[in-house]
């Protein structure tokens, strides 16, 4: 990042300085040229005024200087006067500035002089008598001056670039260092946010850290719970088996112990089954396998599996409602339905009542399971969806509960983007309602 920022800033600085230099040099050259041209034009006008008074060549001779070369040319092109004579003088009729002056009254050109071999600016004007007065300015000095200026500009350019290199490095450090510092102190990022623009980033990092910490705590807590839950039945299985092995169990106890071992093993199996279900739900967020499910038929199928347990307790179980469609995973919805009704059966005294209602209020499909069971206190209602939470641990264990049933239900409901609502009064009964998103084909 440091290199990238450095390169970007440097590239911008170099481009800006180079452009400024080239531009100022071009402007300088142009103003030099314009200045020279206007000088020549002014000199020519003064000479013309002086000469046209009495057409005295002497006046021209006296007015000539090292800077300006004055030439008087007849309309035939023949040179009448030359302030700096150089050997043979040629006919000047074909010189562009002369031609132009003859045609338009004035003419000018910048070219390398044939006579002196130097860059020269020519300015010619037609006099009243038809002759052409031409003044030439040697631009070599301008050229030399420009060259000197270019060298000075180049030197300044190099110096400025070197300075820019140093400043850019410092600037980059100033910008990047606090960000690097922040990166090194992610655990305490709040204290290291260098710019207000980075506050949202820091907040998001903080949120992720909190979420990661929560997930980590949750995982640790869950692992400890699982270990504990697995250990208890295994300890009693091992205890009973040891007593049988050592011959400590009497003949009459062996059958009793074997039954206890089987019960504990069954408990272990259902615990492991629930843990597997939960871990599957934790990792499963693929909705591709969602199908259309009829809630009413699903309830009837689930009751077939639960048939024995509620009949055994002589519980009256009624199903009311209509065929309602939802989008979801059949297996998950069946497990949800099973857990809810199974809880009602478990926590309702014999001869109690359970009502399962299926409907679609305003197109919102719902499934409601109400019982006349023991009920759940307001305080515990907040916790029943936690993993391994049981209001009465020994009662739940006796009934074959694992404390994971409602955690699984909650997961399945969330997976289907639904919501679950609990209404319960201790000693009166419980009502659990699951609502699903509107069905869309």
Of the pair 108, 343, the CB lying nearest ligand ADP is at 343
Q: Which of 328, 352, 365, 403 is in the footprint of ligand ADP by CB under 6 A? A: 403
Of the pair 25, 389, the CB lying nearest ligand ADP is at 389
Q: Where are the alpha helices (DSSP H) in 71-184?
A: 96-104, 140-184
SS3 content of the chain, % helix, strand, coil (to 5): 60, 15, 25
Of the pair 133, 315, the CB lying nearest ligand ADP is at 315
Of the pair 360, 429, the CB lying nearest ligand ADP is at 429
Q: Is 352 among the residues that bind ligand ADP (CB under 6 A)? A: no
Of the pair 332, 344, the CB lying nearest ligand ADP is at 344
Dist CA 233 CA 236 (whole Å): 5
**DSSP at 384:** T
CB of 403 to ligand ADP, least distance (A): 5
Dist CA 303 CA 321 (whole Å): 15
Distances (CA, A) of 118 to 33, 37, 89, 138: 15, 16, 17, 7
Q: Where are the alpha helices (DSSP H) in 248-377?
A: 251-283, 295-312, 330-346
* Order of all β-strands in the sheet with 353-361: 316-321, 353-361, 364-371, 429-435, 419-425
- Neighbour count for residue 40 (Cβ, 10 Å): 21
Q: x/- string (CB under 6 A) for ligand ADP, residues 420-439? A: ----------x---------
Q: Is 125 among the residues that bind ligand ADP (CB under 6 A)? A: no
Of the pair 135, 376, the CB lying nearest ligand ADP is at 376
Q: x/- string (CB under 6 A) for ligand ADP, residues 362-381? A: ---------x-xxxx-----
Q: With contact defined as beta carbons under 8 Å apart, do 120 and 84 qualify?
A: no
Cα R_g (the chain), whole angstroms: 52
Q: Which of 83, 108, 302, 344 is in the footprint of ligand ADP by CB under 6 A? A: 344
Of the pair 332, 430, the CB lying nearest ligand ADP is at 430
CB of 358 to ligand ADP, least distance (A): 18
Q: Is 343 among the residues that bind ligand ADP (CB under 6 A)? A: yes
| Displacement of CA 105 from its chain's centroid (Å) | 70
Helix 330-346 × helix 295-312 angle, to 10° = 30
Q: Which stretch binds ligand ADP (CB under 6 A): 102-110, 299-307, 310-318, 339-347?
A: 339-347
Q: Which stretch binds ligand ADP (CB under 6 A): 102-110, 130-138, 167-175, 387-395?
A: 387-395
Q: Is 401 among the residues that bind ligand ADP (CB under 6 A)? A: yes
Summarize as ranges the residues that interact with ligand ADP (CB under 6 A). 339, 343-344, 347, 371, 373-376, 384, 389-392, 396, 401-407, 430
């Amino acid at each position: 990042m440091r290199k990238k920022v450095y390169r970007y800033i440097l590239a911008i600085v170099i481009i800006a300085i180079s452009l400024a230099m080239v531009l100022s040099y071009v402007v300088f050259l142009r103003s030099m040229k314009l200045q020279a041209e206007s000088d020549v034009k002014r000199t020519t006008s003064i000479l013309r005024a002086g000469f046209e008074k009495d057409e005295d060549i002497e006046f021209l001779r006296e007015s000539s200087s090292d800077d300006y070369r004055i030439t008087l040319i007849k309309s035939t092109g023949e040179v009448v006067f030359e302030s700096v004579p150089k050997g043979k003088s040629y006919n000047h009729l074909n010189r562009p500035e002369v031609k132009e002056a003859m045609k338009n009254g004035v003419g000018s050109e910048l070219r390398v002089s044939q006579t002196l071999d130097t860059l020269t600016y020519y300015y010619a004007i037609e006099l009243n008598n038809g002759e052409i007065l031409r003044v030439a300015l040697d631009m070599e000095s301008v050229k030399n001056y420009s060259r000197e200026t270019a060298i000075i500009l180049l030197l300044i350019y190099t110096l400025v670039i070197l300075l820019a290199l140093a400043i850019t490095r410092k600037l980059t450090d100033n910008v990047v260092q606090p960000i690097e510092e922040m990166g090194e102190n992610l655990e305490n990022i709040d204290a290291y946010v260098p710019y207000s623009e980075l506050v949202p980033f820091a907040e998001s990092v903080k949120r992720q850290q909190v979420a990661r910490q929560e997930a980590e705590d949750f995982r640790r807590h869950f692992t400890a719970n699982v270990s504990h839950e697995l250990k208890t039945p295994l300890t009693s299985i091992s205890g009973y088996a040891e007593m049988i092995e050592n011959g400590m169990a009497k003949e009459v106890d062996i059958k009793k112990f074997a039954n206890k071992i089987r019960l504990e093993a069954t408990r272990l199996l259902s615990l492991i089954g629930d843990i597997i279900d939960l871990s599957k739900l934790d990792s499963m967020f693929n909705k591709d396998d969602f199908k259309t499910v009829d809630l009413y038929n699903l309830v009837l199928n689930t009751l077939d599996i639960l048939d024995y347990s509620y009949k055994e307790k002589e519980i009256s179980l009624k199903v009311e409602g209509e065929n309602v469609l939802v989008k979801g995973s059949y297996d998950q919805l069946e497990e949800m339905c099973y857990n809810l009704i199974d809880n009602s059966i478990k926590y309702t005294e014999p001869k109690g009542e359970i009502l399962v209602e299926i409907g679609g209020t305003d197109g919102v499909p719902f499934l409601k399971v109400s019982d006349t069971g023991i009920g759940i206190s307001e305080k515990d209602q907040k916790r029943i969806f936690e993993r391994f939470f049981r209001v009465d641990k020994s009662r739940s264990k006796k009934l074959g509960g694992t404390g994971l049933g409602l955690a699984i239900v909650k997961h399945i409901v969330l997976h289907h983007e639904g919501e679950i609502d609990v209404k319960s009064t201790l000693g009166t009964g419980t009502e659990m309602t699951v609502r699903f998103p509107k069905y869309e084909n």
